[in-house]
Amino acid sequence: MCGIVGYIGQSAVQEILLSGLEKLEYRGYDSAGIFVVDKMGNSHLFREKGRIAELREVVDFDVPAQMGIGHTRWATHGVPSIANAHPHQSQDGRFTLVHNGVIENFQELKATYLPDVALTGNTDTEIVVNVIAHFAKDDALTTKEIFREALKVVKGSYAFALIDSKDPETLWAAKNKSPLLIGVGTDFHVVASDAMATIQLTDQYVEIHDGEMVQLTNTDFAIETVSGSVIKRAPYKATVDAADLEKGMYPYYMLKEIDEQPAVLRRIVQQYQNSAGELEIPNELKQAVEAADRIHIVACGTSYHAGWLGKHFLEKMAG
Ligand code: GLU
């Protein structure tokens, strides 16, 4: 699961999407892409295998576009390739989708809704965008209704950002078990899988909860559950430290993070020091640990390995 950035507003979107994706780059990915809609309503899709630097080479910055979606992919279904890179488009070209996560019932969706659709890649995501197009065959449905019908049948984890080329004034999003936020600006909105990607644009964010879908324009956003209840939720101020955003003098985030470890440990220890400088574990933490019959360490990547070490220390110390 990797990165999503979407933007609808007044500024040239290509650079916003690419620099947003670059902020998420250190997490790792195998391919990347952006999709933009220009002022005349024409669509432009750019995808590359490999680095965002390579994607930059193929993006046309002269397209006058102020809305678009971007993605860095960490393949779960299908090899890393241009055909499997996101954004994915429906066969008729109407819908374009980026997705973080894993669709569990992709085979069933394909068999039920897309028996005659020739897919161009092997991802679960391309199946979803074509399922959306399938529901659009009913001319009576609005984009919101089409998206909702698709969300009702999709099972699994997803953060989606969707564009319907028939309505280049609106950006759509939905979330279930994969992170996604709305960023609120003065005359624009963003969606991002992490505020870090767009914190340079705005520090005002609104959470999207599992099972919710979102409609965004330049000036408005509206959240509803997939079952149709309207949700009102106020923005909060994201406190991402701008210094954390940049690698600074370091060639890699990993080196920066290793170097930061003494400072981070000091900060954690200070948190539990009393005025005499002695370690003082808060009572509620002590009680919670004493009352627990087991401890789960939840982690992935490097912290997964650190978790194993922590398990070893805890078991040794606790006998
Ligand atoms: N399951 C999707 C794919 O394989 C999305 C992976 C991701 O989260 O980057 O393309």
pLDDT at 62: 96
- SS3 for 218? coil
Give residue ranges with CB within 6 A of ligand 1: 1-2, 73-78, 84, 99-102, 123-125
CA separation (Å) from 91 to 66, 98, 134, 306?
Answer: 24, 15, 10, 45
pLDDT at 258: 84
**Separation of 237 CA from ligand 1 center, angstroms?**
29
**Separation of 1 CA from ligand 1 center, angstroms?**
6
Q: How far apart are CA 265 and CA 243, in angstroms?
A: 18
User: What domains can you pick out in the chain, each with its CATH number?
Assistant: 3-245 (3.60.20.10), 247-318 (3.40.50.10490)
> How many Cβ atoms from other residues are within 10 Å of residue 115's Cβ?
7
- SS3 for 263? helix
Q: Write out the E strands in the chain.
A: 3-8, 31-38, 43-49, 65-73, 88-89, 95-103, 156-164, 171-176, 181-184, 189-192, 204-207, 212-216, 221-225, 230-231, 236-237
pTM as predicted: 0.80
pLDDT at 245: 63
pLDDT at 26: 74
Low-confidence ranges of the chain (pLDDT < 70): 1, 241-249
**Separation of 104 CA from ligand 1 center, angstroms?**
12
pLDDT at 304: 94
Q: How far apart are CA 161 and CA 128, in angstroms?
A: 12
> How many Cβ atoms from other residues are within 10 Å of residue 147's Cβ?
26
CA dihedral 39, 40, 43, 48 (to 10 degrees): -50
> How many Cβ atoms from other residues are within 10 Å of residue 317's Cβ?
7
Atom of ligand 1 nearest to the CA of 76: 4
pLDDT tens per residue across span 208-239: 999 999 999 999 999 999 999 999 999 999 98
Please classify residue 151 by burial: count the beta carbons closer than 10 Å to its beta carbon, then call 0-12 exposed, 13-18 middle and 19+ buried: buried
pLDDT at 260: 78
Atom of ligand 1 nearest to the CA of 102: 1
pLDDT at 301: 86
> Which of 52, 72, 84, 99 to probe ligand 1 with, by most ligand atoms within 8 A of CB?
99
pLDDT at 167: 92
